[in-house]
């Protein structure tokens, strides 16, 4: 069980005739998604473009994205897991409880229709957003969607993809995986990478007040974290690298202004489908790049004597 | 400058078979003579050229996907602690990049070939390869399901396809061409596969897997690439697939090719309950096809992670095992599938697979044409190669292991009847000299003057297969990087790429296709050569 059945966005453009957005509002949050990748483009195997595609939106409220949808399923808040699980049952012709489905705000007939359309699709895709992955049920909700997608492949081609955002968050995932083996929530204090979301993830460390310093790069937790976490950031030495003044930079001890990556600093950005794109600066900046600042901090730190025991003693632990 | 004195040298590429002689090193190369400098007393030790892995998966989108998919494996993996000159990391089935370098070099391997790179994410692969220290690297770009190429073959435009292939190799900054399940991965994008070599691929009228194989092999030969077409045949892992493999050999007649991980392609039977070894038939056919090389893709019992561009096979494996399944289709080019897997000695199918890998290594007569691999991390992890060497060198030990298999499995294999034992020279061939020659790397896999000074020195009794577990010294590019199995110094590895000549007008053909097929700008597609640090462009033949 589990896993992830996905593809690059060009596959969606070229092939998808059935597109589900679940728990997201791409019209406002990923405004180029419809036009560049999913709905409006004429694909190699979808030459009729928008007419050749069916779009379903699953959400708890009618957002502006609903206007773009052919089918809008408004479900009750916190019922994503139940809806996804009912769909998993229906595609396998298993019985579902009418009363339980009614609690989600939908009917069995409505879901049966979606299940049938999913199985009839030539190439289906589910994009899921934080309205699914960050509400009640959290990773269980994502798991249900991932399993639904995997199981649909017994009938037709189906893939799914999380709607990643926040700049180059995908790039951070990718690089951390190849350097440490894990995508996030990593602790290096024992000298090797350990992974435990809930224990080592940023929000949990901050809320518990476990860390005694913070270096923040390309993020604004002061705007999004729970208040206890924000309070902790303002208590400890917090260093922010950011081109702009942010909520976090205002509460930080040190704010180092850096060049804007992609505008005045080069680099690589990973798209939500993990395709790396080169960034070529159009302008010059008087400020150093993030990379340069980190490199200089590292060099300065390396010049200090190590607090760790000698390597030979450490290898015995391993 | 460095002199290795008194060691027993095995340098099969130069006809040196266990001769006591000195090896002299200056400026990162083997030289006839040096004056002064450090010397290593290798008396009583065995001196090999550094190992060369012809087929492995150590970097890029697919492997990195796998790392994220199996955190439970990483937790159980060997830990690499951060030291002043070494980066932290994890070993295990999908090692982190830095650990990959430490593990390969720690075993005495100094060159690796990353065997599956999509052009679209090649930039990512090179970033990871840069983070693998100590070993030199080559890459193969995936081509047998590239729809631009297939569309050209459909229209019979082989000459233009050749220029497109050449352009794509340089766009990816790759070294050679890989084909995976020709036509099958493209068909998988509609949930189909390509099981029959001579039937049209889903969505095509003229293009069959056989035509893709033949035309690509011809194109690679025409472009005079140092390494021939590197082919993962159709029907990987399927009972009865030996017929497909033998037929593929026939299709390839007249061209060079390398058949990857042959173990996964040498099964008989009609289904999982009747599956048996067909290594004898496959090896017999292979022995007569001197245009081909292959690697074992051997299986060892224990944990593995199967990662392949063969999407439909991975869907089948997911259905068989009910375990996690990862799938990543790449627009226009290829796909990839990932399923964690445990090979169990009590499992009939796994027992047959274990035997087939060894049988092929023993039944293929010419060690210059069959190489040591596990298709890491598919059959087993690369850091378990010494276990395979022990099985090859020690017939009694091997037969003991066979006896432990289920009685039913023993009836379906021929391993118990094989008495061949590998000599040290043959081990040097299958682990270094042979793969270096097949890859077309003239300075690798030997210790003659001019060779890169990649040397592995083992200390132990020659008749002990376990000899290879911990090298006494590993020298990479003239620097002593490993002593007593421990990494002592870290150097950065190089990347070898090729630049086959192509018609410059071909860009005018590819550019207009781009907005139709891809979702990135044409200008962002080729990897800039500046992105590869320590790169060396090797000439085509």
B343 neighbors B302 (Cβ within 8 angstroms): yes
The string of pLDDT tens digits covering residues A82-109 is 999 999 999 999 999 999 999 999 999 9
The DSSP H or E segment spanning A149 is helix A139-152
What is the CB neighbour count within 10 angstroms for residue B266? 27
B388 assigned to some structural domain: yes
B18 assigned to some structural domain: no
Tell me how many domains chain B contains: 1
Q: How far is Cα B129 from Cα B53, in angstroms, rounded to an integer?
A: 15
Q: How far is Cα B317 from Cα A42, in angstroms, rounded to an integer?
A: 34
B75 assigned to some structural domain: yes
A246 neighbors A222 (Cβ within 8 angstroms): yes
Secondary structure (3-state) at B424:
helix
The string of pLDDT tens digits covering residues B217-267 is 999 999 999 999 999 999 999 999 999 999 999 999 999 999 999 999 999
CATH entry 3.40.50.1000 includes domain A9-162: no
What percentage of chain B exceeds 70 in pLDDT? 99
- Sequence-distant (6+) residues with CB within 8 A of B190 are A15, A122, A123, A157, B202, B203
Q: How far is Cα A67 from Cα A27, in angstroms, rounded to an integer?
A: 9
B55 assigned to some structural domain: yes
Residue B393 domain boundaries: 47-333+343-495
Cβ-count burial A13-28 (b if 16+ within 10 Å, e if not): bbbbbbbbbbbbbbbe
Closest by CA to A161, choosing from B65, B340, B193, B127, is: B65
- Mean per-residue pLDDT over chain A, rounded: 93
B228 to chain A, closest Cα gap in Å: 28
Question: Per the confidence metrics, is the pTM higher than 0.90?
Answer: yes
Inspect the interface and report whether the beta carbons of B127 and A122 lie closer than 8 Å.
no
Among partner residues B81, B88, B325, which is closest to A5 by beta-carbon distance? B325
B104 assigned to some structural domain: yes
Query: Which residues of chain B make contact with A6, given a CB cutoff of 8 A?
Result: 326-329
The structural domains of chain A, with segments of one domain joined by +, span: 9-162
CATH number at residue B72: 3.20.20
Among partner residues B123, B322, B325, which is closest to A276 by beta-carbon distance? B123
Secondary structure (3-state) at B362:
helix
ipTM of the complex as predicted: 0.94
The string of pLDDT tens digits covering residues B46-70 is 999 999 999 999 999 999 999 999 9
Strands of chain A, DSSP E: 3-7, 18-22, 54-59, 71-74, 123-128, 157-162, 186-187, 194-195, 214-217, 238-241, 254-256, 267-270, 276-279
Q: How far is Cα B471 from Cα B284, in angstroms, rounded to an integer?
A: 35
Among partner residues B83, B327, B339, which is closest to A6 by beta-carbon distance? B327
- pLDDT attached to residue A308: 64
B328 assigned to some structural domain: yes
Query: Which residues of chain A make contact with B94, given a CB cutoff of 8 A?
Result: 181
What percentage of chain A exceeds 70 in pLDDT? 96
Q: How far is Cα A22 from Cα B245, in angstroms, rounded to an integer?
A: 44
The phi-psi region of residue A150 (left if phi > 0; otherwise alpha if psi is between -120 and 50; otherwise beta) is alpha
Inspect the interface and report whether the beta carbons of A7 and B328 lie closer than 8 Å.
yes
The string of pLDDT tens digits covering residues A275-303 is 999 999 999 999 999 999 999 999 998 88
Among partner residues B64, B82, B517, which is closest to A178 by beta-carbon distance? B64
- Rounded mean pLDDT, A217-244: 95
Q: Best of B327, B337, B339, B524 to disrupt the A interface by mutation (most A CBs within 10 Å)?
A: B327
- CA-nearest residue to A122 within chain B is B190
């Amino acid at each position: 069980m589990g896993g992830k059945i996905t593809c690059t966005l060009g596959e969606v453009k070229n092939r998808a005739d059935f597109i589900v957005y679940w728990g997201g509002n791409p019209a406002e949050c990923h405004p180029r998604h419809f036009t560049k990748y999913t709905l409006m483009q004429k694909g190699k195997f979808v030459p009729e473009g928008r007419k050749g595609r069916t779009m379903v939106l699953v959400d708890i409220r009618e957002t502006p994205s609903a206007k773009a949808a052919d089918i809008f399923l408004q479900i009750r808040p916190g019922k994503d897991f139940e809806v996804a699980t009912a769909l998993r049952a229906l595609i396998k012709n298993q019985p579902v409880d009418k009363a339980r489905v009614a609690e989600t705000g939908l009917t069995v007939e409505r879901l049966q229709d979606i299940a049938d359309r999913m199985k009839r699709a030539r190439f289906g895709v589910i994009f899921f957003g934080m309205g699914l992955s960050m509400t009640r049920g959290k990773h269980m909700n994502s798991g249900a969607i991932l399993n639904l997608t995997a199981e649909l492949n017994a009938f037709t081609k189906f893939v799914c993809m999380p709607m990643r955002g926040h700049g180059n968050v995908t790039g951070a995932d990718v690089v951390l995986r190849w350097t440490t083996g894990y995508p996030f929530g990593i602790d290096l204090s024992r000298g090797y990478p350990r992974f435990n979301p809930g224990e080592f993830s940023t929000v949990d460390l901050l809320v518990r007040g476990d860390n005694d310093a913070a270096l923040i790069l390309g993020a604004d937790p002061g705007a999004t974290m729970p208040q206890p976490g924000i309070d902790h950031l303002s208590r400890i030495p917090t260093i922010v690298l950011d081109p702009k003044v942010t909520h976090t930079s205002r509460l930080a001890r040190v704010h180092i202004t850096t060049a804007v990556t992609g505008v005045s600093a080069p680099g690589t950005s990973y798209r939500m489908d993990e395709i790396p794109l080169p960034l070529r600066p159009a302008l010059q900046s008087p400020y150093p790049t993030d990379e340069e600042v980190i490199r200089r901090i590292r060099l300065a730190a390396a010049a200090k004597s190590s607090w760790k025991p000698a390597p030979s003693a450490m290898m015995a632990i391993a | 400058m460095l002199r290795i004195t008194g060691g027993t040298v095995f340098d099969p590429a130069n006809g040196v078979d266990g001769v006591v002689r000195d090896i002299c090193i200056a400026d990162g190369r083997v030289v006839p003579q040096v004056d002064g400098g450090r010397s290593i007393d290798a008396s009583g030790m065995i001196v090999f050229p550094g190992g060369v892995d012809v087929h492995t998966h150590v970097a890029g989108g697919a492997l990195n996907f796998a790392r994220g998919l199996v955190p439970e494996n990483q937790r159980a993996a060997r830990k690499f602690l951060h030291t002043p000159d070494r980066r932290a990391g994890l070993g295990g089935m999908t090692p982190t990049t830095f650990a990959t370098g430490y593990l390969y070099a720690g075993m005495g391997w100094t060159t690796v070939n990353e065997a599956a790179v999509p052009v679209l994410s090649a930039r990512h692969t090179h970033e990871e390869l840069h983070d693998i220290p100590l070993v030199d690297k080559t890459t193969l770009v995936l081509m047998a399901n590239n729809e631009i190429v297939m569309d050209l073959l459909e229209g019979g435009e082989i000459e233009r396809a050749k220029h497109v292939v050449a352009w794509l190799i340089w766009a990816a900054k790759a070294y050679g061409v890989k084909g995976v399940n020709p036509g099958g991965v493209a068909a998988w994008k509609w949930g189909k596969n390509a099981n029959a070599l001579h039937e049209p691929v889903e969505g095509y009228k003229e293009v069959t897997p056989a035509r893709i194989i033949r035309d690509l092999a011809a194109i690679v030969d025409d472009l005079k690439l140092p390494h021939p077409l590197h082919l993962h045949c159709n029907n990987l892992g399927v009972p009865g697939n030996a017929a497909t493999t033998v037929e593929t050999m026939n299709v390839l007649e007249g061209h060079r090719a390398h058949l990857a991980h042959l173990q996964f392609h040498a099964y008989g039977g009609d289904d999982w309950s009747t599956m048996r070894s067909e290594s004898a038939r496959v090896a017999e056919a292979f022995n007569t096809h001197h245009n081909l090389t292959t690697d074992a893709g051997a299986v060892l019992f224990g944990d593995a992670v199967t990662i392949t561009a063969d999407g439909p096979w991975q869907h089948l494996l997911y259905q068989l095992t009910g375990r996690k399944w990862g799938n990543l289709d790449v627009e226009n080019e290829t796909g990839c599938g990932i399923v964690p897997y445990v090979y169990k000695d009590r499992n009939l199918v796994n027992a047959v697979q274990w035997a087939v890998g060894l049988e092929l290594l023993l039944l293929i007569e010419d060690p210059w044409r069959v190489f040591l691999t596990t298709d890491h991390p598919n059959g087993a992890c690369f850091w378990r190669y010494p276990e395979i060497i022990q099985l090859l060198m020690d017939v009694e030990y091997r037969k003991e292991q066979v006896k432990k298999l289920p009685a039913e499995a023993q009836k379906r294999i021929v391993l118990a009847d094989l008495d061949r034992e590998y000599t040290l020279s043959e081990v040097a061939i299958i682990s270094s000299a042979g793969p270096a020659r097949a890859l077309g790397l003239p300075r690798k896999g030997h210790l003659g003057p001019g060779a890169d000074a990649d040397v592995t020195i083992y200390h132990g009794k020659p008749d002990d297969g376990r000899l290879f577990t911990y090298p006494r010294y590993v020298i990479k590019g003239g620097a002593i990087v490993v002593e007593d199995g421990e990494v002592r110094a870290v150097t950065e590895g190089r990347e070898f790429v090729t630049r086959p000549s192509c018609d410059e007008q071909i860009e005018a053909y590819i550019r207009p296709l781009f907005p139709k097929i891809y979702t990135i700008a044409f200008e962002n597609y080729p990897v800039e050569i500046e992105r590869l640090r320590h790169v060396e462009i090797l000439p085509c033949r």
